[in-house]
Amino acid sequence: MTLEGEITEVTSPPNKTDRQRSITIWIPTTEEHIEMTFQIEDFKNSGLVEGDQISIKVEKKFDIDAMAQDLFKGKI
């Protein structure tokens, strides 16, 4: 799944202004905000700023063999 959004705010978490930055992303399709926190070095390297359009790819992986074993054992 890929979510498209816009960075609406860049902030510094309390007591961590020298180490971290947080961004708030508005996702129109879900009408929700997502907040992500980065280490300051990663944030500076990314070049992210308020107003940037951003894509977030979400991958869900699971172990079908373990799930089948749990099913046969009555755990699911």
Identify the residue with better confidence: 17 or 11. Answer: 11
* pLDDT, position 76: 57
Distances in Å between the Cα of 69 and the Cα atoms of 11, 41, 61 are 45, 43, 17
Report the pLDDT averaged over residues 50-58: 92
Give me 35's structure tokens: 């907040």
State which residues form the domain around 36. 2-72
* Domains of the chain: total: 1
Q: In this model, does residue 15 exceed pLDDT 60? A: yes
Structure confidence at residue 39 as a pLDDT band (50, 70, 90): very high
